[in-house]
Amino acid sequence: MKAVVFHQHGGPDVLQVAEVERPEPGADDVLVRILAAGICHHDVLSRSGKIPGKPGRILGHEIAGEICAVGADVPPARVGEAVVIYQRLFCGTCRYCLTGRQDLCRNSRVLGEQGGGGYAEYACVPARNAVPIPEGVDMTTAALAVCPVGTSVRAALGVAATEPGQIVLVTGAGGGLGLHQIQVAKSVQARVIAVTSSQDKAALVRAAGADEVIVSPDLKFSGEVWRLTGKQGADVVLENVVTGTFGESLRSAAQHACVVVLGNIGAQPVDIDPGLVIMRRIRIAGSGNATFKDVQTALHLLATKAVKPFIGRVLPFPRAAEGHALMERREVTGRVVLQGW
């Protein structure tokens, strides 16, 4: 089969089309013909060697396609099913998996990080990882169900457990995660205040459904949040930036707020004011991969159009390098999705 591979860390042009062996499904597996694969910021970091992992693998964990073959223990009726692949190959038996927290499984691995990923004609995964795509969701859209939409569901609805009427502050609101988090928060009738550092993105952020947009080039936004909320603050903060914003996010937090940390833009330690955290009983929580259930929620939100995908560019698979370059140069807003050879 054809695949996009890389043999050394480096710039986008290390990504090359190659002929590799097509995986064979084991008894419990399905073989999926990949019809769309999202390019994640994570892939860009993996390719450039900024996060651990060896070159030589097939990147990509945002995969949608069609089951084209099944193993001996999988119902043959699944052949032809449109599916999105849950990206984490989880054990299913540990104490985390058994409570539905596949994202915490320590015996797990993520497609495209360790093992064959989405930049290929086919992927082979355990049948349980292939989640049926509901009616009304096309392949390009489905590729976003795992992340960014699933990741946004985890943060906003899972970790922060956002409720109707709560005030949700989203930093880095014009980014791929932010634009989807706004919509996920609106899907439960929260009030969303979005912060972006660039005037160019304000209209986009408003189009995503934000009730109020703060354009803050100097990243001093807590005063405005305080004013907009009648000195109550935000009940939930979805922090996609952290570097340069975390102090202001804490200052924007309401009593007993949940501040969810998703971003690590600068990969630098940040200061916290323990007095503020104690006084306001602020809960600071990390968030990452979607759980299995989050992906199903994401697909439902996409199918009902409560969340509309932000897709910046669709490119054929052999132009994956171009997709990476666009993302690195921040020349694209929304996901870059690979489709067709």
**Is the Cβ of residue 27 or residue 91 nearer to Zn ion in the bound state?**
91
The count of chain residues that interact with Zn ion, using the rule CB under 5 A, is 7
Cβ 112 to Zn ion shortest distance, Å: 9
Give min distance, CB of 101 to Zn ion, in A. 8
Provide the angle, in degrees to the nearest 10, between the axes of the packed helices 320-328 and 41-48.
100
105 part of the interface to Zn ion, by CB under 5 A: yes
* Structure-token pair, residue 10: 């480096």
The full DSSP string for 291-309 is PHHHHHHHHHHHHTTSS--
Q: Which residues of 52-78 are buried (b: 16+ CB within 10 A; e: fewer)?
A: ebeeebbbbbbbbbbbebbbeebeeee
CB 171 within 8 A of CB 178: yes
Shortest distance in whole angstroms from residue 132 CB to Zn ion: 20
Find the binding residues for Zn ion in span 55-74 (CB under 5 A). Answer: none
Distance between CA atoms of 322 and 259, rounded to whole angstroms? 35
Which residue in 77, 54, 56, 79 sits closest to 67, CA to CA? 79
Integer Cα distance of 339 and 13 in angstroms: 19
290 touches Zn ion (CB under 5 A): no
Q: Is 219 in the site for Zn ion (CB under 5 A)?
A: no
- The residue whose two tokens read 């970790």 is 159
- In order of 30, 83, 218, the CA distances from 73 in angstroms are 10, 18, 58
Residue among 4, 40, 250, 338 that touches Zn ion (CB under 5 A): 40
Q: Pick between residue 254 and residue 261 the one whose CB is nearest to Zn ion.
A: 261
> Which CB sits closer to Zn ion, 180 or 201?
180
Q: Shortest Cβ distance from residue 182 to Zn ion (Å)?
A: 18
According to CB under 5 A, which one of 68, 94, 219, 314 is a site residue for Zn ion?
94
Per CB under 5 A, the segment of 77-85, 142-150, 310-318, 333-341 that binds Zn ion is: 142-150
Applying CB under 5 A, the span of 123-131, 146-154, 207-215, 302-310 interacting with Zn ion comes to: 146-154
Residue 204: Cβ-neighbour burial (10 angstroms; 0-12, 13-18, 19+): buried
CB of 49 to Zn ion, least distance (A): 18
Among 18, 51, 72, 91, binds Zn ion (CB under 5 A): 91
CB of 106 to Zn ion, least distance (A): 7
| Closest distance of CB 66 from Zn ion, Å | 21
Q: Which residues, 6 or more positions from 110, have their beta carbon under 8 angstroms from its beta carbon? A: 61, 87, 88, 89, 289
68-76, 96-104, 197-205, 261-269 -> range binding Zn ion (CB under 5 A): 96-104
**Tokens at residue 146, please?**
């795992």
At closest approach, how far in Å is the CB of 9 from Zn ion?
Answer: 19
Q: Which is nearer to Zn ion, 221 or 292 (CB)?
A: 292
Residue number with CB closer to Zn ion (107 or 255): 107
Closest to 241 measured CA to CA, from 260, 222, 214, 215: 260
Q: Which of 147, 156, 228, 326 binds Zn ion (CB under 5 A)?
A: 147
Among 83-91, 110-118, 209-217, 320-328, which window interacts with Zn ion (CB under 5 A)?
A: 83-91
DSSP 120: B
Q: Which residues bind Zn ion (CB under 5 A)?
A: 40, 90-91, 94, 97, 105, 147
